[in-house]
């Protein structure tokens, strides 16, 4: 490999890894019809990390920014500025189908030339991208953006050429994200790092470790973006403990990239796993009955949960409200595929003692007209003189006659007695 200035080699090595780091968020500009200049920085800050223009909006001034290194780091001797096209979801799916180990969500359309397409001052950290270069992306329908790639180096690191181990992490942190190994020497110890998950995430069950080639020794050209030379095998080329997050890359694996004039680096790729979302169902218990379960929290997304409504003795369910809407006087209710919080309430009413309705009598048939009774025959006169005396229960009026007769007989007897007394007195 042709000798290069040590500082330039280090820029190329580290630039490889920052090219795949997350882009600094674009402040104040949103929407899909926006073209941007954004920054991917390592151990640097920028006075203007991102700036955007709507489709068809002509930039009226150059893009300017000033880089500043973090404490303990030095400004890079060089930076990368290029025009990139980010793949659509359809384009990326097609690429991954062909190459499952694809690492990139973009393709570099053009690498800009320092001093012609942009300027960079290492002493001050100032970057200037003129309007003529910005016009390459600022037009209606543009699918391209401009990216600035820059990395500061630990003070004194530029005195040695080295390969590196770096990390591309999402929703994770690492106890050691970067390490350098001098070309032509055997590493003294394994590379070790421990991953920790961000809030709301868990450690991944597995990670990927790649051997990347950033330089072609035959053509003496940098490979942009770097190509995957090897996918390392877990438990042989490296180890990963999913419970503790510990990563160990042994000396034998590190020796593959620390050869003289090495065109290789190692990249660790890992993403935290989002914890399942949980929800709660608020249960409101009213008098004279219960809802079971009485509380429901930490319900996993997509799960089902059934509630049972039971009235107290002497009461019945009046109504059940789910999220404020009536579902009727039901004895149970099931929330299906829970993806949000809910509420459930039940009301009860006293059971009324309603008498059982009496059986409706069957309509009787129309009664047949009774037959007209035949007139009874008058019995023949009796020869018994006592037959004319009225008897008990006799409904005839013959008794009146006997009474009158008795009165008349008594009157006659009384008159006779009176007359006899008169005659004697004479």
pLDDT tens readout for residues 346-380: 999 999 855 555 555 555 555 555 555 545 455 55
Q: What is the pLDDT of residue 26?
A: 36
- Domain stop point among 217, 247, 275: 275
10 and 138 assigned to the same domain? yes
244 shares a domain with 116: no
At residue 20 the predicted structure's pLDDT band, cuts being 50, 70 and 90, is: very low
Confidence grade of residue 177 (pLDDT, cut at 50, 70, 90): confident
Query: Do residues 261 and 176 share a domain?
Result: yes
The domain of 247 spans: 161-275
pTM for the structure as a whole: 0.47
Q: What is the pLDDT of residue 384?
A: 55
In a domain, 192, yes or no: yes
Q: Is 150 in the same domain as 20?
A: yes
**Which of 293, 282, 292, 284 has its CA nearest to residue 347?**
284
Same domain for 294 and 229, yes or no, is no
Instruction: Mark whether 299 and 332 lie in a shared domain.
Output: yes
Last residue within a domain, chosen from 245, 275, 305: 275
Residue 169 shares a structural domain with residue 257: yes
- pLDDT over threshold 50, residue 198: yes
Number of domains in the chain: 3
Residue 370 counted as domain residue = no
What are the distances in angstroms from CA 234 to CA 104, 205, 208, 267?
22, 12, 8, 14
User: What per-residue string of b and e applies to 30-65 under the rule 16 or more CB within 10 Å gives b?
Assistant: eeeebbbbbbbbbbbbbeebbbbbeeeeebeeebeb
Structural domain contains residue 15? yes
Residues 110 and 170 both lie in one domain: no
Give the pLDDT of residue 295: 87
pLDDT bracket for residue 199 (50, 70, 90):
confident
Neighbours of 8 (CB within 10 A): 13
The pLDDT tens digits for 213-265 are: 988 887 767 777 788 999 999 999 999 999 999 999 999 999 999 998 889 99
Contact between 319 and 305 (Cβ < 8 Å): no
Domain annotation covers residue 397 = no
At 391, is the pLDDT very low, low, confident or very high (cuts 50, 70, 90)? low
In a domain, 48, yes or no: yes
């Amino acid at each position: 490999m042709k000798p290069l200035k040590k500082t330039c080699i280090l820029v190329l090595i580290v630039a490889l890894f920052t090219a795949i780091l997350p882009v600094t968020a674009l402040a104040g500009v949103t929407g899909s019809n926006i073209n941007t200049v954004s920054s991917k920085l390592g151990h640097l800050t920028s006075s203007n990390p991102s700036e955007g223009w709507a489709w068809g909006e002509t930039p009226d001034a150059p893009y300017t920014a000033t880089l500043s290194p973090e404490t303990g780091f030095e400004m890079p001797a060089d930076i990368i500025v290029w025009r990139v096209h980010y793949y659509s979801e359809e384009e990326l799916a097609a690429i991954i189908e062909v190459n499952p180990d694809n690492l990139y969500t973009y393709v570099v359309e053009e690498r800009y030339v320092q001093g012609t397409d942009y300027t960079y001052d290492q002493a001050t950290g100032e970057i200037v991208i003129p309007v003529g270069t910005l016009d390459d992306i600022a037009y209606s329908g543009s699918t391209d953006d401009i990216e600035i790639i820059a990395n500061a180096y630990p003070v004194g690191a530029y005195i040695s050429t080295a390969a590196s181990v770096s990390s591309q992490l999402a929703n994770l942190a690492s106890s050691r994200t970067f390490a350098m190994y001098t070309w032509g020497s055997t590493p003294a110890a394994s590379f070790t790092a421990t991953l920790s998950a961000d809030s709301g995430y868990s450690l991944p069950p597995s990670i990927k470790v790649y051997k990347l080639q950033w330089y072609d020794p035959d053509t003496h050209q940098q490979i942009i973006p770097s190509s995957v030379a090897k996918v390392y095998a877990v438990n042989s080329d490296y180890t990963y403990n999913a419970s503790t997050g510990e990563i160990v890359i042994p000396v034998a694996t590190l020796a593959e990239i620390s050869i003289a004039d090495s065109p290789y680096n190692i990249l660790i790729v890992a993403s935290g796993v989002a914890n399942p979302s949980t929800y709660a169902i608020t249960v409101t218990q009213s008098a004279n009955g219960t809802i079971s379960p009485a509380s429901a929290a930490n319900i996993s997304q997509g799960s089902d949960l059934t509630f049972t409504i039971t009235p107290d003795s002497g009461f019945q369910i009046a109504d059940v409200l789910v999220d404020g809407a009536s579902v009727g006087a039901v004895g149970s209710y099931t929330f299906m595929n829970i993806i949000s919080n809910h509420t459930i309430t039940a009301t009860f009413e006293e059971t009324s003692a309603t008498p059982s309705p009496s059986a409706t009598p069957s309509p009787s048939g129309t009664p047949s007209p009774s037959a007209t009774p035949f007139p009874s025959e008058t019995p023949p006169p009796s020869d018994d003189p006592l037959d004319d005396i009225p008897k008990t229960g006799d409904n005839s009026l013959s008794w009146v006659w006997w009474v009158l007769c008795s009165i008349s007989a008594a009157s006659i007897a009384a008159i006779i007695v009176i007359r006899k007394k008169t005659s004697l007195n004479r």
